[in-house]
C-alpha cells in the first residue's frame, strides 16, 4: 500500500464507498511503478524523488474509471494523464442574467421548443473555417477572438460580441487559452478552408452533463453576491460539459504513446496507469502530450462558450435581448503546473474544482471574493454557488457535484412510481419529446428515453446538503448563493 498522505474532507454524514477507496489505493500503485522504472532505467526520470506527494479527497468522492471522482493529486517529476480522465477540461460555466423567474416560467413551452431545435434538431448553426478551428485548438478563446470575423456574423456568430468576449477572458480560468504547438489527430475535424459546420462544437455530451436554467433562491453571503451581481429571484444559466469526442481523441493518442514508451522487458502496470516523466530523454513525448492536452482543453472552453450563445439565442428569440454576463468558467478534469512550498509539481484534478482564496486570485476580478465555485446538486435539486477559501491541505479544491449514490445500472432499476413523481415536478429538455404524437406507439424509443433519464435522476445521487456543509466545516469554500432549477437540458 502507498505511503502517500491522503486527506479526506468529508463530514460523517456523507457516505464513503469502499470501492472508491479501493480504487484510490490501486491508483497510488503508480508509486511502485515509478520505483520499478527507476531500477530498470535510472535515467527514466530526471527527478529521482518523483512520486505522488499528496492526495486530497473532496466530499463528492465516489468510484470512477481508474481514478475516483473527487480526487486531487500533487505529483513531482511526472504527470499521470489518465488521472484526469478522457473528458479533458470537463468543467462549469455560469452566466448571470437580468431575467426574473416568472419571465421564464410563463414562456417555458416556447423556450423549450427553441432549445430542442437549437441544441438537438440541427439549429445550432456554428460555421467555422479551417483556420478558425485551428486557432481554436491552438489558442483557445483567444484564438476564437482573433479569428471570429471569418464567420461573417453567420449563424450563432451573430450573438458573439467581440468587446464583451474580450472582457470575459478575465472570467475564465487561464483565460480559456492554452498555447499548443500543433493539432494532432485532428486533420479531418479541421475541415475545408471555407466555412463549414461540424457535429462537435456546441454539443453537451451525455452522462451527467447538462445546461440548466436556474433561479437564485437564497443569498447566503450578501457582500460577495452583490459583487457577483447575484440577487434572489434572478435567473442564472449553468453549463456542465467538456471536450466530448475531442477529449477522447486526445486521451487515446496519449494512452497509446505512454504504452509505447513503457519498457518492453517490464510487465505493464496492473492498474493500467502509465506515468509520463519530466525527462530530457522523453522530451518529444512530453511536448506531444501538452499539445494533445491543450487541444482538448481549448476545445472544451470553446464548447461551453458556444453552448452559452446557443442558450442566449433560444431564450432571446422568445423574450428579446437580455443581459447575459459571464461569472466564471473553470475545469474540474485537468492538470496544472504548481509550486507548493518550493516544491515544483503538477496538480491533477478528477472531478474536483479549483477553489482558491481572494489572495491567490490577486490580479483577477475575484481578488476581493475568492474564486467562484459551482457545485450542482442532482437533476431537479438545488445547486450552490460558493467562493473558494484556498485551503492548502485540500490542495485548494472543492467538489464538482453531489457524487453518485447509485451506479447508472442500478439507477435504471429504480421503481417507476418514484421516477414518475420526479418527472411530474420537473422540466427536462432532451433530444426526445415524449409528448410527440408520432412517438405514442414507439415503446422502444420511449423506453430508451426513460432509461437515460433514470441514470441521472435525483435518487441516483447523494444529498447535496451534507456535501456543501463539508466544504463549510473544512474551510474549503463559503456559500454565496443557492439556486434551484427551472429546466434542465440533457444530451
Q: Is 301 annotated as a binding residue?
A: no
Going 311 to 315 to 317 to 322, the CA torsion angle's sign is negative
Q: Is 268 annotated as a binding residue?
A: no
Q: Is 378 annotated as a binding residue?
A: yes
| 275 grid coordinates | 506515468
Q: Is 25 annotated as a binding residue?
A: no
Q: Is 192 annotated as a binding residue?
A: no
Q: Is 87 annotated as a binding residue?
A: yes
Q: Is 490 annotated as a binding residue?
A: yes
| Contact indicator for 41, 236 with CB cutoff of 8 Å | no
Q: Is 210 annotated as a binding residue?
A: yes
Q: Is 400 annotated as a binding residue?
A: yes
CA distance 483 to 329: 17
CA distance 387 to 370: 5
Q: Is 407 annotated as a binding residue?
A: no
Catalytic residue among 171, 324, 400, 471: 400
Name every residue whose Cβ is closer than 8 Å to that of residue 167 and which is 6 or more positions away in sequence.
none
Q: Is 240 annotated as a binding residue?
A: yes
Return the closest-CA partner of residue 135 out of 330, 309, 294: 294
Q: Is 394 annotated as a binding residue?
A: no
CA neighbours closer than 13 Å in the CB half-sphere of residue 394: 29
Q: What are the strands, taking DSSP E only, across 77-220?
A: 78-79, 91-100, 210-219
Q: Is 366 annotated as a binding residue?
A: no
| 339 grid coordinates | 509550486
- 117 classed as catalytic: no
Cα distance between the two ends of the chain = 40
Map residue 82 onto helix, strand or coil. helix
| Contact indicator for 169, 142 with CB cutoff of 8 Å | yes
CA distance 323 to 188: 37
Binding site, residues?
Answer: 87, 208-212, 240, 332-333, 376-379, 383, 400-403, 490
Binding site for GMP, residues?
Answer: 208-212, 332-333, 376-379, 383, 400-403, 490
Binding site for Mn(2+), residues?
Answer: 87, 209, 240, 332
Catalytic residues: 400
Amino acid at each position: 500500500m502507498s505511503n502517500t498522505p491522503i486527506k479526506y474532507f468529508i463530514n460523517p454524514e456523507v457516505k464513503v464507498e469502499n470501492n472508491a477507496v479501493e480504487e484510490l489505493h490501486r491508483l497510488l500503485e503508480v508509486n511502485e511503478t515509478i520505483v520499478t522504472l527507476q531500477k530498470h532505467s535510472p535515467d527514466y526520470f530526471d527527478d529521482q524523488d518523483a512520486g505522488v506527494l499528496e492526495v486530497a479527497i473532496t466530499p463528492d468522492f465516489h468510484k470512477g474509471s481508474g481514478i475516483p471522482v473527487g480526487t486531487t493529486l500533487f505529483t513531482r517529476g511526472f504527470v499521470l494523464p489518465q488521472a484526469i480522465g478522457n473528458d479533458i477540461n470537463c468543467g462549469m460555466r455560469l452566466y448571470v442574467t437580468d431575467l426574473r423567474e416568472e419571465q421564464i416560467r410563463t414562456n417555458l413551452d416556447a423556450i423549450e421548443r427553441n432549445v430542442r431545435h437549437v441544441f438537438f434538431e440541427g439549429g445550432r448553426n456554428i460555421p467555422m473555417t479551417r483556420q478558425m478551428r485551428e486557432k481554436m485548438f491552438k489558442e483557445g478563446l483567444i484564438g476564437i477572438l482573433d479569428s471570429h470575423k471569418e464567420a461573417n456574423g453567420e449563424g450563432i456568430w451573430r450573438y458573439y460580441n467581440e468587446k464583451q468576449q474580450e472582457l470575459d477572458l478575465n472570467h475564465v480560468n487561464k483565460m480559456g487559452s492554452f498555447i499548443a504547438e500543433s493539432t494532432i489527430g485532428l486533420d479531418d475535424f479541421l475541415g475545408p478552408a471555407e466555412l463549414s459546420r461540424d457535429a462537435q462544437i456546441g454539443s453537451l455530451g451525455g452522462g451527467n452533463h447538462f445546461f440548466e436554467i436556474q433561479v437564485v433562491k437564497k443569498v447566503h453571503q450578501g457582500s460577495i453576491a452583490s459583487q457577483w451581481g447575484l440577487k434572489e429571484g434572478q435567473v442564472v444559466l449553468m453549463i456542465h460539459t467538456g471536450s466530448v469526442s475531442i477529449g477522447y481523441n486526445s486521451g487515446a493518442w496519449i494512452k497509446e504513446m505512454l504504452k509505447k514508451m513503457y519498457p518492453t522487458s517490464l510487465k505493464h502496470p496492473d492498474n493500467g496507469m502509465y506515468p509520463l516523466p519530466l525527462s530530457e530523454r522523453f522530451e518529444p513525448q512530453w511536448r506531444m502530450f501538452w499539445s494533445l492536452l491543450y487541444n482538448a482543453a481549448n476545445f472544451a472552453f470553446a464548447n461551453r462558450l458556444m453552448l452559452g450563445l446557443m442558450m442566449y439565442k433560444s431564450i432571446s428569440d422568445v423574450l428579446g435581448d437580455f443581459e447575459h454576463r459571464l461569472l466564471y468558467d473553470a475545469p474540474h478534469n485537468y492538470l496544472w503546473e504548481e509550486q507548493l512550498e518550493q516544491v515544483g509539481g503538477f496538480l491533477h484534478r478528477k472531478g474536483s474544482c479549483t477553489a482558491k482564496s481572494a489572495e491567490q486570485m490577486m490580479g483577477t476580478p475575484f481578488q476581493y471574493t475568492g474564486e467562484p465555485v459551482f457545485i450542482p446538486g442532482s437533476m431537479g435539486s438545488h445547486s450552490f454557488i460558493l467562493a473558494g477559501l484556498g485551503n492548502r491541505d485540500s490542495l485548494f479544491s472543492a467538489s464538482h457535484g453531489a457524487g453518485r449514490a447509485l451506479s447508472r445500472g442500478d439507477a435504471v432499476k429504480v421503481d417507476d412510481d418514484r421516477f414518475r413523481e420526479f418527472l411530474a415536478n420537473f422540466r427536462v429538455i432532451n433530444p426526445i419529446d415524449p409528448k410527440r404524437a408520432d412517438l405514442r406507439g414507439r415503446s422502444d424509443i420511449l423506453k430508451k428515453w426513460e432509461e437515460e433519464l433514470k441514470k441521472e435522476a435525483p435518487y441516483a445521487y447523494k444529498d447535496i446538503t451534507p456535501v456543501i456543509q463539508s466544504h463549510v466545516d473544512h474551510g474549503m469554500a463559503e456559500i454565496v448563493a443557492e439556486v434551484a432549477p427551472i429546466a434542465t437540458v440533457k444530451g
